[in-house]
Structure 1
């Protein structure tokens, strides 16, 4: 028996997660000065974190020998005010929203269950579900990448436990209409998970529906608008019955003390939030109008570009040679060979990206 056989076959067959390229590996490969490289492939906030969050990290750096509260209560209290949602429906999670997904799948999924994933979308839903024994049913999106709720309903079986929706969707940037979410919640006996990682850049959220439906979970993160991707901090909004069970299996102390304090500080910095949103909305419009390829409408902090008849890999290669990191979407199941996701950057970064696309 090979050592690899010690690993469950279902785990061995899971496709690896493909992250965006780093500045360090790009600089090394192309012989570039790291300072000249712009990273617009991972949907990070180019303005960085709130100065208040940085100050909180520095203040509590000397106290990391102490455990944080087991449930990150201070952060949950701050989120309750930020969202106008009771604390009984909020769970803080680490690392990032991925930790929330891992815990939910561990709680809900057993061998033989199914989950439904509309593709293309964020790949970690599949990884978390399959790692816990679920089979994945893929539902293709419409031609404009919007979700086909009717197709999802047809795909539901007696074994379906969870339907995943990403709104705004990664990598397409479209938002699932509230009416469609309601249709699914009312016609499906299982759980609907809505990923709102990018919702602060959109025009509406369905978070309030958690107070109306007992089969809805909304996942959120501090990695995008709050600029705290390196701290790996996320949270979930869910009905109380589910939170009670969730807390039984959640890893104790899973959110570090500096992350809790930085999260509370980031929420309080309304000026930084507003500045980040304004930058994205202005830059998003500029990229949509100026990139000389088809650019899909987006409500996130990125745009999806179709470079056909060219291939995404060759275009991304040309941009990398110019020190510009964007995301080749071929690793997204169902995305095809010609799609590139571009994070909205600063005004100067956006101009550089447009010029690079024009030169291609």
Structure 2
């Protein structure tokens, strides 16, 4: 038996997650000064974290010899106030929402189960599900990237455990309407997981529906609006019955002390939150109006650009040589070869991106 056969075949055949390019790798490959590179490929907050969060991290640094609270209770309490939802319906998770997905799949999935993915969408749902033994059923989205309810209904079988919905969707930026989510929650016996990583930049959260439906889980993150991507902090809103079971298998102390303290501080900084949201909404409108290709409407902190008849890889290469990192969407299953995702930056960064697209 080869060493590779020690790994489950379902895992051996998973495609690796493709992250956005880093500043360091781009600088090295193209001989650029890292300080001049504009990184708009990973949907990070260009304003950085809240000063209050930075202060909280520094204050906690001298205490990292001690374990944090096992359930991140202090952060859960702060989230309860932020969301106006009970503590019994909120779980904090590390590392990021990815850790939440891993734990949920470990809790829910058994070998032979199925999950449904409307594609193109965030690829880590597939990785988390397949790593725990599930098969993935792909359902193509409509031309405008809205979900196809009829196709999803046809794809559901007796083995379907989870339907994944990203709202706003990554990489297209459009939301899933509440009426569609309600329909799925009523007709489907398994879990509906709604990823709201970008919800604060638009509208239409369905987090409150957790109080109506006992098969809904809403995932959130501190990586986008709050600018804490490097701390890997996420959380979920879920039915109280599920939280009780989830906490049994969640990794102990999975939210680090610096992340916990930074999360509490970030939630309290209303000025930074408002400034970040305003920057995205203004910048998003600017990119939609000035990029000289088709730009889809978005409710997230990014826009999706269709550069056809050109190829996304060629256009991204031109931008990279100019020191601008955007996201080639060819790694998103079902996205085709002409789509590029552009994170909304500062006004100066947005103008540089527009100029680069014009040069193409």
What TM-score does the superposition give when structure 2 sets the normalisation length?
1.00
Structure 1: how far apart are the matches of 2:39 and 2:152?
35
Deviations, residues 171-205 of structure 1 (Å, cap 9, x unaligned): 00000000000000000000000000000001220
The answer on 1:348 being equivalent to 2:348 is yes
Equivalent position of 1:102 in the other structure: 102
Equivalent position of 2:23 in the other structure: 23
The answer on 1:310 being equivalent to 2:310 is yes
SS of the residue corresponding to residue 218 of structure 1 reads strand
Structure 1: how far apart are the matches of 2:165 and 2:84?
23
Gaps of 5+ in 1: none
Deviations, residues 87-117 of structure 1 (Å, cap 9, x unaligned): 0000000000000000000000000100000
Equivalent position of 1:154 in the other structure: 154
1:10-89 map, 5 Å: 10-89=10-89
Equivalent position of 1:174 in the other structure: 174
Structure 2: how far apart are the matches of 1:139 and 1:150?
10
4+ residue stretches of structure 1 with deviation over 2 A? none
Deviations, residues 297-354 of structure 1 (Å, cap 9, x unaligned): 0000000000000000000000000000000000000000000000000000000000
SS of the residue corresponding to residue 273 of structure 1 reads helix
Structure 2: how far apart are the matches of 1:295 and 1:122?
19
RMSD: 0.4
SS of the residue corresponding to residue 304 of structure 1 reads strand
Equivalent position of 1:199 in the other structure: 199
Structure 1: how far apart are the matches of 2:150 and 2:35?
48
SS of the residue corresponding to residue 280 of structure 1 reads helix
Deviations, residues 183-242 of structure 1 (Å, cap 9, x unaligned): 000000000000000000012200000000000000000000000000000000000000
Structure 2: how far apart are the matches of 1:289 and 1:203?
21
Gaps of 5+ in 2: none
| Alpha-carbon offset, residue 10 of structure 1 | 0.6
Equivalent position of 2:122 in the other structure: 122
What TM-score does the superposition give when structure 1 sets the normalisation length?
1.00
| Alpha-carbon offset, residue 148 of structure 1 | 1.1
